[in-house]
Structure formats: structure tokens, C-alpha cells
Structure 1
Amino acid sequence: MNLDAYKTLSVAVDSGIARITLDNPPVNVLSGTLIRELHEVLGALRDDRSVRVIVFSSANPEFFLAHVDIHILDEMDGLEELAGRSSGANLFQGVGELLRHQPQVTIVELAGKARAGGAEFVAAADLTFAARETAGLGQTEVLMGIVPGGGGTQYLRERVGRNRALELLLTADLVDADTAAAYGWINRAVPAAELGAVVDGVARKIAVLSPEIIAAAKRLVPPSDLTDAYQAEHDAWAELVSGPLPLRLMTRALEHGVQTPEGERDLESVMRAVATAVQD
């Protein structure tokens, strides 16, 4: 595996742990290129028995994965091949399926914010530890006039229950690490200064185990079969995203600084203002 072949992420492997750093400036959107490279690197690691754990972190301390790149809708024809490789109903669910079925244990080290497709990525990983002072999670798709299309509805229902899933989906609020942990969205909130050490400690404990033990544990605690649920989620997302409102909202969002650091720091306020202006 050529560890230097990627444009939007970097990889370092040591002592049974592959550390993947997401690096897609300025705010780490989940772009077509990043999705391709995630497919490539996870595929390359899949059969590497020397790697027991994969840790994901971000080169940007503010943003783990901001959300799916708004411009990706213009690239969908060129990404059909990737969508066809997974058991998800669409490209975005396919990213979650990669993570959910990776033979290694996948861990997210969440120092910054992850919204929409970024939050789906976090929930699809096996384990997540988040910085108490700086991390945030938000399933914010309704602010763009759509519903989650990358597995978010199902991941939330499994992790936090139906009532909290509806709260998170329909308020689109950014949730802090302590609340996310209390809801069951993540494993644990820890002080930011201790986040790296906590994740490293968990990763090293798992990495000394044999691949057979890890495989047995993951087989005995399997991810749910979401085939039908994925299709239902995709159909709802596709119907909404093809309407006129999401395009208007996304266009105005870009004009108001979304996908820049300034616009993403308080995305919810920006999008609520955009939604009000569009509806007036």
C-alpha cells in the first residue's frame, strides 16, 4: 500500500494501528475525492492482518468532517461505480457500510465538529471518543430541505432510540460531547487535553489481540442488516433533493459562507437565517 498516494487523507501504520488523518481543507467536507480515497485505503487495509485497529482523526482541529460537499451532487454520475460496490442504496450509505463491515475495529477521535454526512461517518464507526470542550455532532440535513441520506436515520435510531432520534433529526441542533455520550451517540466524552491519550490507550489494548479474537467479537456483535431501511431512506432523500427547495437553500448557503470556516462555525444559525430568507 502506497501511504503517500492520497490527496485528502494521510495514513500511518504502527504496532497494529492504522491512523488515518482526514485532510480536505478548508473544513473537511466529504467530497467525491475523499469518498474515493476512503474506499481505496479501507480496501487496502481490509486484508492486512497486521492491522487490528483503524483510528480516524482530522488535520483540522475545528472540523472532523463538516458534512457532505454541497457540490457533490454535480459529480454523482462519475461516482456511480463506487455506489455500486456496497450494499447501501446510494454512495453515502456505502461509506457507512465500508466502516460498519471493516474487519478491523474502527475508532473516531472526535476533536471538532461533525455534521450531517460527517455525523453519519462518526456513527458508522465502531467506537467514538470526543473532546468535551470542542466536539459537536449534528444531523443537520433538514436545514437544507432534505432528510439524511447516508444512513443517519438508522444509525441514530439504533444508538439513541426513536424519541431522541426524532429530536436530533428534526431540531438539527449541534449536540455537545457530553450530551452525545449521555444519549449513546458516542462512547465517551473526555477532556480535550486527554482525548489523544484515551484513544491511543483503547487502540493499543485492542491492537495486541489476535485478528481471530477481533473477528469473533465483531461477528458476535454484528451490525444490523439495513438493506430495506437504506432503500427507504434513500427514496425519501432522493424525492426531497430533487425538489426546488434544497437547491435554493444550498445555493444561498454557499453565498452565506457555508463550506468556509467562518460559515461552518455556527452553521445552524446561518442555515436558519437562509431558510427564513428563502421562504419570505
Structure 2
Amino acid sequence: MRLPAYSSLRVRLGGGVATIVLDHPPVNTLDGQMMLDLHDLLGRLRTADTVRVIVFESAHDEFFLAHVDFGIFDSYPALETVKKDYPHVNVHQGIGELLRSQPQITIVKLAGIARAGGAEFVAAADMAFAGAERGKIAQSEVLLGIIPGGGGTQFLLEKVGRNRALEVVLGADLLDAETAALYGWINRAVPDNELDAFVTRLAGNIAALDPGVIEGVKRALPAGDLTRGLNVEHDEWNRLVSGDAPARKMKLAMERDLQTIEPERDLEGFLRRVAADV
């Protein structure tokens, strides 16, 4: 299968498995170009009979996906070019919906930190396995005065239940892999030095199943229709992000070098200090 070159993704194909490496330095943010690249690539893979499993990993040692890039608002004109493909949800939610509806099995290998839009990406995949020491995850948007806007509320409700979804969204704490697995946000925590081999073995075993088995299982265990909840999430996100306080917090955060490695390591503490100074 021939694929175009992508500026934010690297793709390896082999043995029925497509491994997609997410690559947007310096901290691997989910920006507009990556959304467009994912939209194109997942669309092409939908009809690829030779690809049966899709594995996502990161090019960064510390971050799987830090969060949505703060320059995303500048990408809106470009994202409008694919809006027609998501008539019932926003484009960011639509990337999650692509993951949830992909005919292949989608697996996240979480060897670092995923927050906000990165955490939504993890929750949208069919399965996620995290390094027990380095894998961490948080839904941190409320620290900016907004709520998740890429499907996070609905994906969490489906995976962890209402009480834990409320804790995760409103508490905005960085969870270790063991706690995330206990909650059901990810499948399981695996020792860091075993994570690559574990995911490789699982993906290979699934890809080697008899024809029709993956399709049959995904039809029998379909992703639920979250459209109504996603629409409410979008409306509430849009209402809040249009206010003055989030804009001031985002501006001050960028002035203090958000999206560089040191602030991102303790993003929750960093954003709480920003909020205190706004």
C-alpha cells in the first residue's frame, strides 16, 4: 500500500499492522496539521484490506500527546476543508469518532503523558496499554476555564462511568497508569520494559486471525452513538471558550512558555499557578 508523506506522522506497515508514530515537537501537541493528517490517513486505511490493526505510538520520550496545540484557532480555516465529513460533530470530535468507527482494531501504546486532547485520543481508541512507570493521563481543560471539547466527556462516560468521569474532568489530576487501568480509562498497565513487546505480540496475534473475525467482533461490539452528548459538549465548550477568562489564561500560559518541556512536565501545577495570577 502506497501512502503519502505526512508532516506530523510516520507510518510503518507490516504483517497486517499499521504503526503510526505521532510526531509534532517539541512536546507532541495535537495541532491542526496533525488532525488533517490523521483525517487523511485513517480515511485511506479504512479501505485497506491488508491492514487489520492500527497501533499509535509517540516519537517523544516523555509525551504521547501533550494536549491540543494552543495555535489550533489559527488552523480553523484549514480544518473547515474537512468539516463536511463530520456533519454531526466538530472536527476534533470527528477524529475521535474516526478512531471509534475504524474497521481495524486501534491500539494506543502510551509510553509517556497524554493530557486533554491527547487523553481524548487515548480514550477514543479501541484499546490502550500504558507503561506502568511512564504512562500517565489527565483531562486538564477545566484549569483553563473550559471543558473537554474533543469528545472527552462522552468517551470517559462510556469507559469509566459518570462518577469517575466527574472526578477525572473536574479534579484535573494526572493519573498514573495503574489508576487509569483501575478506572477503565486504559486496558492495563504494563512494565515499561515490556510494553513494546506486549503491544507487538497482541497486535500481531489479532492481525493473524482468520478473515472476517475482526469485522464480526467489531459489529457485535459496536461503538455507541454519542452524537447527542458530543453536541452538548461542543456547545458548552464553545460557550466557555468564548469568555474572557480562558483567553487571559491561555495568553498568560503561552507567555510563560507553555508547550515547552519543563512547564509541560507539571502542567497541572503550572496552570493552577497561571489561574492564580490572572
TM-score by structure 2 length? 0.97
Give the Cα separation in 2 of the matches to 1:101 and 1:210: 21
Bigger shift: residues 75-84 or 134-143:
75-84
Does 1:82 pair with 2:82?
Answer: yes
Give the 5 Å matches for 1:101-250.
101-250=101-250
* Residue 97 (structure 1) aligns with: 97
Give the Cα separation in 2 of the matches to 1:21 and 1:210: 27
What count of residue pairs does the alignment treat as equivalent? 278
1:4, CA displacement in angstroms?
A: 5.5
Give the Cα separation in 1 of the matches to 2:141 and 2:272: 12
Give the AA of the match of 2:96.
G
Describe the shift of the 1:211–1:43 C-alpha distance in structure 2 as closer, same or farther (beyond 3 A): farther
Give the AA of the match of 1:38.
L
Give the Cα separation in 1 of the matches to 2:123 and 2:81: 24
1:81, CA displacement in angstroms?
A: 2.5
Aligned residues of 1:86 and 1:97 also touching (Cα < 8 A) = no
Give the Cα separation in 1 of the matches to 2:211 and 2:26: 37
Superposed CA offset, 1:217-257 (max 9, x none): 00110011011111111000000011111111111111122
* Residue 48 (structure 1) aligns with: 48
* Residue 261 (structure 2) aligns with: 261
TM-score by structure 1 length? 0.97
- SS of residue in 2 equivalent to 1:13: strand
Superposed CA offset, 1:45-102 (max 9, x none): 1111111000000010100001101111122132112233125521110110110011
* Residue 65 (structure 2) aligns with: 65
Alignment RMSD (CA, Å) = 1.1
Give the Cα separation in 2 of the matches to 1:162 and 1:152: 12
Give the AA of the match of 2:32.
G
Aligned residues of 1:53 and 1:207 also touching (Cα < 8 A) = yes
* Residue 24 (structure 1) aligns with: 24
1:211, CA displacement in angstroms?
A: 4.3
Moved over 6 A (4+): none
Any stretches of 5+ residues in structure 1 without a counterpart? none
Any stretches of 5+ residues in structure 2 without a counterpart? none
Give the Cα separation in 1 of the matches to 2:152 and 2:76: 20
Give the Cα separation in 2 of the matches to 1:106 and 1:215: 13
* Residue 38 (structure 2) aligns with: 38
- Percent of aligned pairs with the same residue? 57
